[in-house]
Amino acid sequence: MRKDNDQRIYLNDDDPTVVYLKNVIDDPDIQVGEHTYYHDEKNDPRDFVKNNVLYHFPEFHQDKIIIGKYCSLASGTTFICPLANHNFDSLANYPFPIVNAHWALDESFFSDDKVCTLKGPTIVGNDVWIGYNSVIMPGVHIGDGAIIGTRSVVTKDVPPYTVVAGDPARPIRKRFDDDTIEKLMALKWWDLPDEEIREFLPELINGHIDAVLEKKWLGDAARTVIERLGNTK
């Protein structure tokens, strides 16, 4: 659930094409943070797992996909799970253990490392924007604030606040200078309660990082004073 306990499926009641992913996914292997949404004009966005998480067979391999808070996923965003990667150590590309009804292999061939190339969890950070029809390969880590360009195929980790695009996706540029990125990574605004974010939302939208930090600091100071006064009563 989101921090405000909002159980709404759709961002707007009159638009069935955009859903809060956290409220439509009940798969324990796929974790999604608050406020993250998915937009799909072709398919029912409530069927995100069925249509957009491919080769996900928990009965054979425990995949983990972790998507952070405040992410924006455009139509066609697709996650590929490890079972799509056939075993690279085999001399044959053909996945004999998966089609064992014909070959009657010993059970020792059913281990994960015999079936596919193992990957760790796929992790999407917070405030990540993934463009139309992009593909995220298994085991990739996408940093906070990154942007994935339209029709990109992400095969490698993406640093925070970096724009990548292409097939395979390559860095295009950083969104901000290093000093601003450092401040944003320290702020971690996505972890704050909604009511605190509202205090500096205009500055956040307008790109005024120092004004955001000033309001955040003043807000923290005010809350500390109020708490101290409350404890003295």
Q: Up-side HSE of residue 118: CA atoms within 13 Å toward CB? A: 8
Of 190, 198, 204, residue with least CA distance to 67: 190
Q: What angle do CA 18, 22, 24 make, to 5 degrees?
A: 65
Structure tokens belonging to residue 93: 């590309």
Q: Which of 86, 102, 141, 208 is catalytic?
A: 86
Active site residue 86: yes
Gyration radius from the chain CA atoms: 21
Structure tokens belonging to residue 219: 């807000």
| Strands laid side by side in the 153-154 sheet | 53-54, 78-80, 135-136, 153-154
Active-site positions read: 86
